[in-house]
Structures are given as structure tokens and as C-alpha cells.
């Protein structure tokens, strides 16, 4: 960043301290371990019950496998239906602070709704987590799409384009607080700041990693212009299509903004002794036990006019199924060998990292750690 002061005695270069920038070919993470039900929307026995011991158990399983990113979701109320998925849950900054203290290796993320968190508070809270974690922290910026939860705060979701203008100004203030030694004034469209000040600076120099998962064209530009980890959904089973999809992010970042980004996605692991058992289990928790009312509520909210997404009615049930099975994660279904193959393919299409989740989160992740991860290591993807 131009004009960034040199590192202070307590600072480290973020490429060295934050595992999300590490050199492993395929980086791994967990997704949504701070919320009840985890990533599924299903009345499945053994799904994540959100308690502090349970969320720490998952973080420590990830830490033992050197996962590079533990990504929570900022959610303020659930989605109704029979199970109210994601209703009970832990707020992400305080969650990340606790998780940073309970882990030693993994990258730790907090997720900020820009309209709900003043940039001075966000910069300060992030700095504390960066200190607790000794430079393992990443900030995920979200604009919000779930307007009923914003209305709970008395905040109206801005028009889609305006949300990104807001996020640009918000992030510029956060970065300035993290880097500027002199106090500064800011007179923008959305914020006025007098004598902006933040000390101590974060551990990471020049500032902590920034993540964004915008999926619209405007969101892709925002992520490629300002962020370090960009997230995208993988929807196709065609390798060439997926490879082109991931490459388009790198090209956009390089050609339009002269930058490098890391592209990540998310996947759900449905593993069993045989492929048939895995497929039967998928059918059981999605089609017999799935919370379709809650999932349709999600899709209809995402597809509301204010979010400017084109969700034809004919596709909405298929999209709801993706939400039920793993909050939109790419389903990896089969034996441990097939799961490893699936992860190899996700690496082959150019992804730098994948956030994982399991329907029965704790049981599934334990099994992954015991029998699947050792196989994955043999591929060299985790050297």
C-alpha cells in the first residue's frame, strides 16, 4: 500500500504469519462452526448443537490438521421452519477472539456486516484478534442480503450497487486506521471521522488479510480490487467450466487491478464406507429430514428484488436443496478415496482453498481427521 509506514517492532509480514497465505497447494478451512445446525438445514440427529465446547472441539480438530481458515458466518436470527437453522449462534468477532485463544496454528476469521459495525470498532476489534492469534487473523467483509435480519436492527439494506460503494468507503477507513500513524480526518459520503486514531497496530503488516464472497459482477470487482481471499461457489461438474470460472477471478484481479488474489470455495463432505451408503445418507438428511420451509425462505430472501439476483421459480427448489445439504457447498459424496479425489479435482481447477463442512459436523470431522486426511496428505496437496 503506498505510503504505508515500515513494520513496527511487534509486526510481522502477513505472508509469513497468516496461514491463509501459506504455501500448501490446497488450503483447507471450516465453515459456519459458530452457528446452530452448522451448514445443514435438516432435522438430522447429530447436526451441530451450538455450545462453546462443541465449537472449540471443531476448531481444535481443524488446528490439529493445520487448517488455514476457520470461517464463521455473521448471522443475527434464524430461518424459521421446523429447525430454525442458524438461529442460535455466536457473534463472530467475540467467537474469533475466543477461538484464537483456543488454537495455535489455524487462521481465524471474523465476519463483519459493514452496515452494522462502525469501521473504527471493526478495525479495533480486528486488531485485538490479530494480537491474540499472533497474526493469524482475516476479516471477512459482507454487505448483507438477508434484509429481515438487518430490519431487526432498524437498518434498511441499501440498493445493491450502493452497498458496494458503502463497503469501499468502510474498508478504506479500516485500512487507514490499521496503517496510518498520524491522526486523520475523513469526510466521505457515509462516514465523517475526526482525528481517526488506532494503536497498537495489528500484528500483520501492512494489515490483516481481507476476505470477500460477493458473487455479483459488482461483488467480483470489489473482491478482486480490494481483497486478498475471494470466495466463489462451484456449481458445475465440468472441469473445464470450473477451471475457466476460477481463472476469470485471477484475470480480473491481474488485468484490471494489477493484483493477485487467492480463490477459495466451500464443499460439504458426505462420506461413508460405500458410495451407495453415502448417497443413501444424503437422501435421508436432505429429502427425508430436510427443512424445506427454512431453505425456501433463504432462497426467496436471497432472490428478493433488492438483491438483484435472477432466481427463476423453476430453479428455486434445486437451490433450496443446495442450502439444505451444506449451505451451498459443493457436495463431495462417496468413500474416503472418492472424497480425496474430489478435493484433488477442486485443487486442479485452480482453487487455493476450500472450506469444508460435514452434516454431522463433529462426528464427520473426526472421521475425516482419522481416515481421510492421512490419505489426502499422501497426495502431496498438504505438504
Ligand X SMILES: Cc1cc2nc3c(=O)[nH]c(=O)nc-3n(C[C@H](O)[C@H](O)[C@H](O)COP(=O)(O)O)c2cc1C
- Of 98-106, 126-134, 215-223, 340-348, the window that binds ligand X (rule: CB under 6 A) is 215-223
For residue 10, the minimal CB distance to ligand X (Å) is 29
Closer residue to ligand X (CB): 146 or 372: 146
Closer residue to ligand X (CB): 323 or 333: 323
Closer residue to ligand X (CB): 89 or 196: 89
* Alpha-carbon dihedral 108, 111, 114, 116, rounded to 10 degrees: -120
Dihedral of alpha carbons 216, 163, 3, 20, sign: negative
For residue 212, the minimal CB distance to ligand X (Å) is 7
Tell me: does residue 96 bind ligand X (CB under 6 A): no
Closer residue to ligand X (CB): 33 or 146: 146
In contact, 41 and 81? CB cutoff 8 Å: yes
- The phi and psi torsions of 333 (rounded to 5 degrees) equal -120, 130
Query: Largest alpha-carbon pair distance within the chain?
Result: 63
Site map (CB under 6 A) of ligand X, residues 135-154, x = contact:
-------xxxxx--------
- Of 172-180, 214-222, 237-245, 345-353, the window that binds ligand X (rule: CB under 6 A) is 214-222
- The phi and psi torsions of 108 (rounded to 5 degrees) equal -120, 135
Q: Which of 214, 290, 303, 342 binds ligand X (CB under 6 A)?
A: 214
For 108, the 3-state DSSP assignment is strand
Cell of 210: 481481507
Q: Which residues contact 219 (CB under 8 A, 6 or more apart)?
A: 164, 212, 213
For residue 220, the minimal CB distance to ligand X (Å) is 7
- The phi and psi torsions of 61 (rounded to 5 degrees) equal -65, -45
Q: Which of 20, 44, 62, 73 binds ligand X (CB under 6 A)?
A: 73
Beta strands of the chain (E only): which ranges?
A: 12-13, 27-31, 69-71, 108-113, 137-142, 184-187, 192-196, 204-205, 209-212, 229-231, 262-271, 330-334, 353-357
Rounded Cα distance between 180 and 26, Å, is: 34
Cell of 135: 497474526
Closer residue to ligand X (CB): 116 or 180: 116
Pairing of strands 204-205, 12-13: parallel
Q: Which of 213, 227, 263, 269 binds ligand X (CB under 6 A)?
A: 213
- Of 201-209, 211-219, 244-252, 344-352, the window that binds ligand X (rule: CB under 6 A) is 211-219
Tell me: does residue 219 bind ligand X (CB under 6 A): yes
- Of 41-49, 209-217, 268-276, 284-292, the window that binds ligand X (rule: CB under 6 A) is 209-217
Residue 186, strand partner residues: 193
Q: Which of 11, 37, 103, 111 binds ligand X (CB under 6 A)?
A: 111
For residue 149, the minimal CB distance to ligand X (Å) is 8
Q: 21 vs 156, 260, 300, CA distance in Å?
A: 35, 11, 36
Tell me: does residue 215 bind ligand X (CB under 6 A): yes
**Of all residues in this chain, which one has the CB nearest to ligand X in the complex?**
219
For residue 337, the minimal CB distance to ligand X (Å) is 27
For residue 192, the minimal CB distance to ligand X (Å) is 26
Tell me: does residue 216 bind ligand X (CB under 6 A): yes
Contact residues: ligand X, CB under 6 A: 73-74, 111, 142-146, 213-216, 219, 231, 266
Amino acid at each position: 500500500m503506498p505510503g504505508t509506514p515500515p513494520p513496527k517492532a511487534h509486526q510481522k509480514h502477513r505472508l509469513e504469519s497468516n496461514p491463509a497465505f501459506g504455501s500448501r497447494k490446497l488450503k483447507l478451512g471450516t465453515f459456519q462452526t459458530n452457528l446452530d445446525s452448522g451448514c445443514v438445514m435438516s432435522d438430522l440427529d447429530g447436526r451441530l448443537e451450538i455450545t462453546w465446547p462443541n465449537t472449540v472441539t471443531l476448531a481444535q480438530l481443524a488446528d490439529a490438521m493445520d487448517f488455514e481458515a476457520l470461517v464463521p458466518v455473521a448471522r443475527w436470527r434464524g430461518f424459521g421452519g421446523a429447525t430454525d437453522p442458524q438461529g442460535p449462534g455466536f457473534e463472530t468477532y467475540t467467537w474469533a477472539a475466543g477461538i484464537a485463544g483456543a488454537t495455535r496454528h489455524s487462521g481465524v476469521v471474523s465476519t463483519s456486516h459493514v452496515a452494522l459495525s462502525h469501521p473504527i470498532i471493526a478495525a479495533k476489534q480486528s486488531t485485538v484478534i490479530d494480537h491474540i492469534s499472533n497474526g493469524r487473523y482475516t476479516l471477512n467483509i459482507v454487505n448483507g442480503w438477508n434484509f429481515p435480519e438487518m430490519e431487526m436492527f432498524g437498518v434498511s439494506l441499501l440498493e445493491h450497487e450502493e452497498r458496494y460503494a458503502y463497503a469501499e468507503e468502510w474498508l478504506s477507513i479500516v485500512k487507514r486506521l490499521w496503517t496510518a500513524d498520524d491522526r486523520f480526518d475523513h469526510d466521505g459520503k457515509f462516514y465523517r471521522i475526526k482525528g481517526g486514531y488506532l494503536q497498537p497496530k495489528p500484528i500483520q503488516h501492512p494489515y490483516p488479510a481481507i476476505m470477500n464472497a460477493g458473487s455479483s459482477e459488482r461483488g467480483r470487482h470489489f473482491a478482486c480490487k480490494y481483497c486478498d481471499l475471494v470466495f466463489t461457489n462451484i456449481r458445475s461438474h465440468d472441469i473445464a467450466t470450473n477451471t475457466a470460472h476460477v481463472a476469470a477471478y485471477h484475470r480480473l484481479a491481474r488485468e484490471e487491478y494489477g493484483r493477485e488474489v487467492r480463490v477459495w470455495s466451500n464443499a460439504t463432505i458426505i462420506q461413508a464406507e460405500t458410495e451407495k451408503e453415502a448417497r443413501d445418507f444424503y437422501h435421508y438428511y436432505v429429502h427425508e429430514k430436510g427443512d424445506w420451509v427454512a431453505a425456501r425462505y433463504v432462497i426467496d430472501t436471497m432472490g428478493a428484488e433488492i438483491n438483484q439476483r435472477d432466481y427463476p421459480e423453476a430453479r428455486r427448489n434445486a437451490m433450496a436443496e443446495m442450502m439444505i445439504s451444506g449451505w451451498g457447498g459443493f457436495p463431495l459424496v462417496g468413500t474416503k478415496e472418492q472424497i480425496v479425489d474430489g478435493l484433488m479435482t477442486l485443487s486442479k481447477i485452480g482453487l487455493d482453498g476450500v472450506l469444508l463442512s460435514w452434516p454431522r459436523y463433529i462426528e464427520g470431522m473426526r472421521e475425516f481427521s482419522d481416515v481421510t486426511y492421512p490419505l489426502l496428505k499422501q497426495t502431496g496437496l498438504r505438504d
